[in-house]
Amino acid sequence: MDIKKKINNLVEKLKKWEYEYYALESPTVSDSEYDLSLKELVELEEKNPEFRNIDSPTLRVGGFISEKFEKVKHKIPMLSLSNAFSKEDIIKFDNDIRKELSENISFSYSLEPKIDGLSISLIYEDGFLKKALTRGDGIEGEDVTENVKTIKYIPLSIPFKDEIEIRGEIFFDKKSMEKVNSISEKKFVNARNAAAGTIRNLDSSIVAKRNLNAIMYNIPESIENNLFKQSDVLKWLKHNFFNVSKYNKVCENVDQLINEIKWFQENRETIPFDIDGIVIKINEISLYDDIGYTSKFPKWATAYKFPPKIVSSKLIDIKTSVGRTGRINYIAQIEKVKIDGVAIQNATLHNFEYIQEKDIRINDYVELYRAGEVIPKIIGPIISRRTNECKKFICPKTCPSCNSILEKIENEVDLYCNNKKCERKIIESISHFVSRNAMDVDGLSIKIIEKLYDKNIISSFIDLYKLENKKEEIISSNLLIKEKSFNNLISQINKSKGNSLERLIFGLGIKHVGEVASKAIAKKYLSLTNLKNITIESLLEISDLGDKMANAIFNYFNDCDNDELINSLINMKIANEYFSKWSSSQISNENEIYRNKKMVITGSFSTSRNEIKPLLEEMYGAKISSKVGPSVDFLLIGNNPTTKKIEEAKKYNIKIIDKEFWK
């Protein structure tokens, strides 16, 4: 047998054994036989590298060293899910869906365990795994392809030759988690952190040794691949050698759904991997567009979260800190306790009135719980365990950072530091400005911000855009930044200049103003320049804004100290426009024909679909569908559009819009 044929035979044999062992949990050969065959393949490939297959199982060994992980935009955003916490929430979810559908339309539910891991997107081309992306912020993820190739539960090639995206979860099962913590110097506190930390390791050989698991459950463009039910998607995945959870269920009605959730809740400890709830989806994918989406979540799915575990611990002390708006925060320091495998030493106490109302005292034993990734919350004291050592917490009178006298605003429960020169407020405001959901400057940690501030290199977020001129000073000042890191940081800062206006408004850290309000403000005013001339009356025309928020925004843009910052941002042309590349001038009378119409998009564009879709939805009120049908009004085509969609558009006499419209 020639060498090339021998290598190919070994590859096919090892791939078959991997699938039997990892996906089917039904191995047909011993571990030693597999190891010997893999060793033989490694030796043959080393001597004959020209015959190495791009889907060779030897890639599972790892050895690729990355300097960093590049960010890549998702073709289709990876949306998060709304949460349900009770039987009543599930019934409401069912009722809300029925309101969106005609009475004669029947549907079922697909149930899948909500795995405590890391979401992943796999892109296959010509049958081979080409790219693997983390969820990131849902719009943009990190390219972790080389690390994902080491995971034996993920096929390196599949018997499907068209381009396709597969989504799922990477995680540690309970046995692997125990093994990793038994041999690793760094002890992981829970499976999610362990999976996230491992997949982002720069050395793929370390990833390979940790034996990560992976379960796939989603094909974003399922309709385009003639998969009209979630149960069909799961069957397709299994048929194409992906690992699929054996705990998936289909329920015909809400009563059956509630019973199955109860079963999972009672039996979660018997499942070999950690789950923190159940993902519920409408099984009929063809109904998704009719049911619709909110700005953040699909309406056709939700995540039922198991009730949080309540534990008790001793409250050692209560510390205060000041945030970017000057609000005083109260943190309880407690004796270390574990919740769901996570070691907890701090918990939130909301505000002083909460501490008073609950009569929480230092040295009390308290009950607390942790929901999701947020800091744990204290429910209240265990009065039966109170002793004479327990003492009341005295309300703070001065800022823990600058010692300024704290002020209480009428009709608000919180205390505030109103000193504009408070160092901690400034540092926290800069940290917020560069955070992921604001200007997203990767690599600028709060520790580096503190050092830059202490060295008088920056005194506000506007100084970040002047750092390029202070390279030598920064690198020579022992600020945790080396030359390569500095260059990467400057690249990220310059990239942030092109962000859209809503990100900038959120990044300004205006009191009471979150992401939703920032987007609404950006949509109305379209540029930072226009915001300099706002009035209370015009702000109150925005439905998402109330009196308190409108006053906070008006006061911010009419503050003399902020005026210089705003002018600097405008002069530097930093994130000055809504949707950055789009402006109201693009909406001509001619284009009004697209208003409130149902549209399908196919092909690629010079501008990301992530910008085209919100423009259509928000500026035209369009409804975006993934499926061409008789109810669709327009098909928007870009480069390399799907032939099938064009043929269907012609079949239903749907008008086709050329990409020239979007230039």
DSSP state string for 582-596: --GGG--TGGGGGTT
H/E run at residue 416: strand 415-416
Please report, as a single letter, which amino acid is at residue 414.
Answer: D
- Name which of 166, 127, 120, 162 is nearest 143 in CA terms: 120
CA count, 13 A, side-chain hemisphere, 283: 20
Per-residue tokens: 102: 């005609």
Give how far Cα 423 sits from Cα of 36, 398, 405, 449, 562, Å: 62, 14, 15, 12, 16
Query: Which of 298, 256, 308, 324 has the alpha carbon at shortest distance from 90?
Result: 256
Answer yes or no: are the C-beta atoms of 502 and 578 closer than 8 Å. yes
253 neighbors 279 (Cβ within 8 angstroms): no
The residue whose two tokens read 């855009």 is: 465
- The structure tokens listed for 6 are 């021998």
Q: How far apart are CA 271 and CA 269, in angstroms?
A: 6
Query: Rounded CA gap, 268 and 258, in Å?
Result: 15
- Beta partners for residue 405, in sequence order: 398
114 is catalytic: yes
199-235 in b/e burial notation, b at 16+ Cβ within 10 A?
bbbeebeebbebbbbbbbbbbbebbbeebbbbbbbbe
Q: Provide φ and ψ at 68, rounded to 5°.
A: -165, 170
| Selected catalytic residue, list 114, 281, 299, 519 | 114
Query: Looking at the annotation, which residues are catalytic?
Result: 114
